[in-house]
């Protein structure tokens, strides 16, 4: 998206930031990209300027204890015009529970399924 002129914010936990920064540099996309630390549910959400037009999450649904923090973070970064794109493996019953929680706050649509990987779009209710 950044190569098309969009302003992009890439996030990860502190331990993964060096790899994320290296990927940005190797792909020569640093011009419109900011790399920031993000730990779901933490106070560092203040460094962002929501709402975002698009929020993308890939393989972020796997630890049930983080679901409330993840949902709160998604909620804080979006408004009713934000499109959430979420790619995840539905491996366990807990993954379905996350989708149930998401559906309480968002209209969720399945866009694509390939084996056990599903891609959803969502918008706030």
CATH fold, domain 45-124, is Rossmann fold (3.40.50)
Q: What pLDDT is attached to residue 4? A: 62
pLDDT digits (tens, 9 = 90+) for 3-18: 566 789 999 989 999 9
Least confident of 9-13, 24-28, 45-49, 58-62: 45-49
Domain ranges of the chain: 1-37, 45-124
Look at the alpha carbons of 30, 34, 36, 41 in this order and tell me if their dihedral is positive or negative. Answer: negative
Rounded mean pLDDT, 40-52: 84
The count of C-alpha atoms lying within 13 angstroms of the C-alpha of 125, restricted to the half-sphere facing its C-beta, is 6
pTM above 0.85, yes or no: yes
32: pLDDT confidence band, cut at 50, 70 and 90?
confident
Q: What pLDDT is attached to residue 17? A: 93
Q: What pLDDT is attached to residue 111? A: 97
**Cα dist from 105 to 56, 79, 80, 124, whole Å:** 17, 11, 10, 6
Least confident of 15-24, 61-70, 71-80, 89-98: 89-98
Look at the alpha carbons of 56, 51, 77, 33 in this order and tell me if their dihedral is positive or negative. Answer: positive
């Amino acid at each position: 998206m950044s190569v098309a002129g969009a302003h992009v914010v890439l996030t990860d936990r502190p331990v993964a930031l060096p790899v994320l920064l290296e990927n940005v540099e190797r792909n020569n996309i640093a011009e419109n990209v900011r790399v920031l630390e993000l730990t779901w549910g933490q106070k560092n959400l203040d460094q962002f300027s929501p709402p975002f037009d698009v929020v993308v999450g890939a393989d972020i649904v796997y630890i049930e204890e983080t679901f409330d923090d993840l949902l709160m973070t998604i909620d804080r970064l979006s408004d009713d015009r934000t499109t959430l794109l979420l790619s995840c493996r539905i491996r366990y019953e807990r993954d379905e529970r996350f989708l149930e929680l998401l559906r309480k706050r968002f209209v969720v649509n399945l866009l694509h399924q390939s084996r056990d990987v599903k891609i959803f779009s969502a918008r706030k209710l």
